[in-house]
């Protein structure tokens, strides 16, 4: 017997296992299970139909088990049936669009009346059905390929997070069963809860899963997530004003030696570093104390922030690897003294932890705290968030007439023909130290 159970916004099908068959269904602990749970998505009407269908299927499966058949036999038959059904559905769509002319034998298999009423003349041969995969199967193959290609782990983790969100709401569907309506409804739900920019990230990840499966010969037809991006107008980041920054930093007192390291104790330092370097939140959050170090440059010694890949550090792209000279305002604020109090080998902000639910990012909690601070101070407005520091710094450098290549090296933007080595030692780094000093604010 199958019943429909609602948990939060999702529906689940609960199938009771006959007592005499429970020894065939063992849980993770090795004990017999009393029921089977299956995801049924978030739409009640769809879930209700699925519960009826799955209940009938399990009743048949239990009857076969009682006759002495094995679970492996039943699962193999079910897989074969799904493949035939998917292929039949695909053929129907192609017939309706006029792209497929069926063989008479196939016409009888799918439904003779349906096919010949469409007026499609018989073809000489029938194409073989294309194997299909579930979302999780296709995504796993995509993730393996990304990791083999050396893609950043944070990028892969971001895709995993978005794929998992789809499966949790819609179930681990076969790719061929995902219609544009299913994709659109799910993305609209994401957009309603977050932003169109975030919605578009989810659409991109799922479209990539389907497209990767297509290239591997595991999917055929239209990609239901293609063309599903929503307009993200009005969501561009905006810089802070000097007045806003004065209000913000007055509410973020810094401690040279915190009694306890935590996200709250880290936020004032992270925000100040961002204001005088333009570095990204995650770039700063993942720094170690040793990443604030001295670098020789044509006889001079320059203290730099070493933003690099390797170890626990993961950057957005190759251009993000750079040395940023430490601004004199950060020295006056006590950043070097703060770093000196930390044990050798310590993270610069030991109170931060990676959040698996956020793609393994270590700065996720800081972003949440910063947003709350903006709201509490009345500074939250459209387009203003932690990333606004980068736009603020970019604007200060532009106002100062800084060359684009120099500004790009401070911010970690890619410029054709520019390499890391140009600014890692010598006159390039000395010039960059002067460039960074062009970032200044009134009365901060």
Q: What is the CATH number of the domain that holds 252?
A: 1.10.443.10
- Shared domain for 103 and 149, answered yes or no, is no
Q: Which of these three, 175, 197, 215, is where a domain ends?
A: 215
Write down the residue that tokens 């069926």 correspond to. Answer: 102
Find the domain containing 148 and state its range.
135-215
Write down the residue that tokens 């600014």 correspond to. Answer: 423
Whether 444 is in a domain gets the answer no
Q: How many domains does the chain have?
A: 3
What are the residues whose beta carbons fall under 8 Å from the beta carbon of 35, sequence distance 6 or more? 14, 15, 16, 17
Whether 393 is in a domain gets the answer yes
Whether 252 is in a domain gets the answer yes
What are the residues whose beta carbons fall under 8 Å from the beta carbon of 216, sequence distance 6 or more? 141
- Shared domain for 296 and 412, answered yes or no, is yes
The DSSP letter of residue 175 is: G
- Shared domain for 156 and 262, answered yes or no, is no
- Shared domain for 189 and 104, answered yes or no, is no
pLDDT in tens, 38-97: 888 888 878 888 888 888 878 888 888 888 777 776 766 666 666 655 666 666 666 556
- Shared domain for 275 and 402, answered yes or no, is yes
Whether 359 is in a domain gets the answer yes
Whether 160 is in a domain gets the answer yes
- Shared domain for 272 and 154, answered yes or no, is no
Q: Is the pTM of this model over 0.85?
A: no
- What are φ and ψ of residue 297, in 5° steps? -150, 95
User: Which sign does the torsion angle of CA 413, 419, 424, 425 carry?
Assistant: negative
How many other CB atoms are found less than 10 A from the CB of residue 381? 11
- Shared domain for 367 and 332, answered yes or no, is yes
- Shared domain for 280 and 248, answered yes or no, is yes
Task: Give the pLDDT of residue 279.
Answer: 92
- Shared domain for 270 and 199, answered yes or no, is no
Report the distance separating Cα 32 and Cα 51, nearest Å. Answer: 23
What are the residues whose beta carbons fall under 8 Å from the beta carbon of 94, sequence distance 6 or more? 100
Report the distance separating Cα 68 and Cα 332, nearest Å. Answer: 80
pLDDT tens over the chain, length 444 residues: 678 888 888 888 888 888 888 888 777 677 888 888 888 888 887 888 888 888 887 888 888 888 877 777 676 666 666 665 566 666 666 655 655 554 444 444 444 434 433 333 333 333 444 456 889 999 999 998 888 877 777 778 888 989 998 998 888 888 888 888 888 888 888 877 777 778 888 999 999 999 888 888 888 878 889 888 776 554 577 899 999 999 999 999 999 999 999 999 999 999 999 999 999 999 999 999 999 999 887 778 899 999 887 766 667 666 678 889 999 999 999 999 999 999 988 999 999 988 877 767 888 899 999 999 999 999 998 888 999 999 999 999 988 888 888 888 888 876 655 544 445 554 678 888 899 999 999 877
- Shared domain for 194 and 256, answered yes or no, is no
Q: Which of these three, 117, 146, 166, is where a domain ends?
A: 117
Whether 73 is in a domain gets the answer yes
- Shared domain for 86 and 170, answered yes or no, is no
Q: Which of these three, 59, 82, 117, is where a domain ends?
A: 117
- Shared domain for 337 and 422, answered yes or no, is yes
What are the residues whose beta carbons fall under 8 Å from the beta carbon of 378, sequence distance 6 or more? none
Q: Which of 367, 353, 333 is nearest to 286 (CA)?
A: 353
Whether 227 is in a domain gets the answer no
Task: Give the pLDDT of residue 215.
Answer: 85
Whether 443 is in a domain gets the answer no
Cβ(87)–Cβ(93) under 8 Å?
A: no
How many other CB atoms are found less than 10 A from the CB of residue 164? 14
């Amino acid at each position: 017997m199958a019943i429909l159970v609602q948990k939060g916004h999702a529906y689940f099908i609960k199938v009771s296992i006959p007592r005499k068959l429970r020894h065939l269904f063992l849980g993770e602990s090795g004990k017999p299970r009393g029921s089977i749970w299956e995801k049924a998505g978030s739409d009640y009407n769809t879930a209700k139909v699925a519960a009826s269908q799955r209940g009938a299927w399990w009743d048949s499966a239990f009857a076969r088990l009682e006759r002495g058949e094995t679970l492996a036999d039943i699962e193999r038959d079910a897989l074969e049936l799904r493949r035939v059904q998917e292929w039949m559905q695909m053929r129907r769509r192609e017939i309706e669009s006029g792209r497929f002319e069926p063989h008479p034998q196939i016409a009888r298999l799918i439904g003779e009346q349906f096919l010949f009423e469409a007026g499609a003349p018989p073809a000489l041969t029938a194409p073989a059905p294309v194997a299909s995969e579930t979302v999780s199967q296709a995504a796993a193959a995509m993730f393996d390929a990304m990791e083999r290609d050396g893609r950043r782990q944070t990028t892969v983790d971001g895709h995993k997070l978005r794929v998992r969100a789809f499966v949790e709401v819609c179930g681990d569907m076969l790719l061929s069963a995902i219609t544009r309506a299913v994709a659109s409804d799910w993305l609209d739900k994401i957009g309603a809860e977050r932003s169109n920019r975030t919605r578009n990230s989810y659409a991109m990840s799922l479209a990539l899963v389907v497209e990767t499966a297509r290239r591997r010969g595991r999917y055929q037809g239209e990609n239901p997530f293609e063309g599903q991006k929503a307009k993200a107008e009005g969501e561009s980041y905006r810089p802070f004003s000097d007045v806003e920054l004065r209000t913000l930093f007055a509410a973020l007192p810094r401690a040279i030696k915190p009694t306890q390291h935590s996200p709250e104790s880290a936020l004032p330092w992270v925000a100040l570093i961002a204001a005088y370097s333009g570095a990204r939140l995650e770039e700063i959050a993942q720094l170690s104390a040793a990443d604030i170090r001295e670098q020789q440059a044509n006889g001079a010694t320059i203290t730099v922030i070493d933003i690099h890949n390797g170890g626990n550090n993961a950057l957005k792209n190759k251009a993000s690897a750079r040395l940023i000279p430490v601004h004199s305002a950060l020295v006056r604020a006590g950043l070097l003294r703060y770093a000196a109090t930390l044990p050798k080998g310590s993270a610069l902000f030991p109170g931060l932890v990676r959040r698996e639910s956020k793609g393994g990012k270590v700065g996720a909690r800081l972003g949440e705290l910063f947003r709350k601070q903006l709201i509490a101070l009345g500074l939250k407005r459209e387009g203003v968030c932690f990333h606004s520091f980068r736009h603020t710094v970019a604007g200060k450098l532009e106002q100062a007439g800084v060359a684009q290549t120099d500004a790009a090296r401070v911010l970690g933007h890619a410029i054709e023909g520019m390499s890391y080595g140009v600014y890692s030692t010598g006159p390039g780094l000395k010039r960059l130290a002067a460039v960074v000093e062009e970032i200044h604010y009134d009365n901060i």
